[in-house]
Structure 1
Amino acid sequence: MRHSLPLAPQFYVTAPQPCPYLPGRMERKLFTALQGDQAEKLNDALSKQGFRRSQNVLYRPSCSDCAACLSARISVADFQPSKSQRRTLRRNAHLERRATSPWATEEQYALFRRYLDRRHADGGMADMDVFEFAAMIEETPIRSRVVEYLDQDSGALEAVCLTDVLDDGLSMVYSFYRPDVPQQSLGTWMILDHVEIAREAGLPYVYLGYWVPGSPKMGYKANFSGLQLFRGGQWCAKSARDDFSPELNPSSTDPIAEQVANISLPDTRG
Structure 2
Amino acid sequence: MKTGSKGPTTLTREPRDAPQFYLTAPSPCPYLPDRQERKVFTHLIGGRAVGLNDQLTLSGFRRSQTIAYRPACERCRACVSVRVKVNDFRATRTFRRVMEQNADLAGLVGRTEPTSEQYSLFRRYLDARHGEGGMADMTVLDYSMMIEDSHVESRLVEYRAPDLNAPGETQLTAACLTDLLADGLSMVYSFYAPDQPRRSLGTFMILDHIERARRLGLPHVYLGYWVEGSQKMAYKARFLPQERLGMNGWERVG
TM-superposed CA distance for 1:233, in Å, is 5.0
- TM norm structure 1: 0.85
The answer to whether the Cα contact below 8 Å between 1:72 and 1:208 also exists between their aligned partners in 2 is yes
The answer to which structure has the higher strand fraction is 2
1:156 matched to 2:166: no
Query: Which residue in the other structure is 2:108 paired with?
Result: 98
Question: What percentage of aligned pairs have identical amino acids?
Answer: 55
Choose the corresponding residue for 1:140, options 137, 150, 174: 150
Q: Which runs of 4+ in 1 moved over 4 A?
A: 4-7
Choose the corresponding residue for 1:177, options 192, 211, 214: 192
**Greater relative contact order: 1 or 2 (C-alpha under 8 angstroms, separation 6 or more)?**
1
Return 5-14 or 34-43, whichever deviates more: 5-14
Residue 118 of structure 2: SS of its match in structure 1?
Answer: helix
Deviations along 1:16-43, one digit per CA (max 9) or x if unpaired, are 0000000001010010111111110000
Residues 23-34 of structure 1 aligned to structure 2 (within 5 Å): 23-34=33-44
Q: Distance in 2 between matches of 1:7 and 1:83?
A: 49
Considering only aligned residues, what root-mean-square deviation do their CA atoms show, in Å? 1.3
1:12 matched to 2:22: yes
1:204 matched to 2:219: yes
Residue 84 of structure 1: SS of its match in structure 2?
Answer: helix
Q: Distance in 1 between matches of 2:87 and 2:215?
A: 12
The answer to whether the Cα contact below 8 Å between 1:49 and 1:233 also exists between their aligned partners in 2 is no
Residue 156 of structure 1: SS of its match in structure 2?
Answer: strand
Kindly name which structure, 1 or 2, has the bigger radius of gyration based on alpha carbons: 2
1:76 matched to 2:86: yes
Query: Which residue in the other structure is 2:202 paired with?
Result: 187
Q: Residue type matched to 2:102 in 1?
A: N
The answer to whether the Cα contact below 8 Å between 1:71 and 1:208 also exists between their aligned partners in 2 is yes
Query: Which residue in the other structure is 2:238 paired with?
Result: 223
The answer to whether the Cα contact below 8 Å between 1:101 and 1:146 also exists between their aligned partners in 2 is yes
Q: Residue type matched to 2:221 in 1?
A: V
1:113 matched to 2:142: no
Query: Which residue in the other structure is 1:256 paired with?
Result: none
List gaps (5 residues or longer) in structure 1.
240-270
TM-superposed CA distance for 1:238, in Å, is 2.2
Query: Which residue in the other structure is 1:255 paired with?
Result: none
Q: Distance in 1 between matches of 2:150 and 2:248?
A: 27
Deviations along 1:76-130, one digit per CA (max 9) or x if unpaired, are 0121111111100000000001000111000000000000000000000000000
The answer to whether the Cα contact below 8 Å between 1:198 and 1:204 also exists between their aligned partners in 2 is yes
Query: Which residue in the other structure is 1:56 paired with?
Result: 66
- TM norm structure 2: 0.90
Choose the corresponding residue for 2:45, options 25, 32, 35: 35
TM-superposed CA distance for 1:152, in Å, is 3.8
Query: Which residue in the other structure is 2:4 paired with?
Result: none
The alignment of Structure 1 onto Structure 2 pairs a total of residues equal to 236
Q: Residue type matched to 1:213 in 2?
A: E
Q: Residue type matched to 2:124 in 1?
A: R
TM-superposed CA distance for 1:167, in Å, is 0.5
List gaps (5 residues or longer) in structure 2.
1-13, 164-168
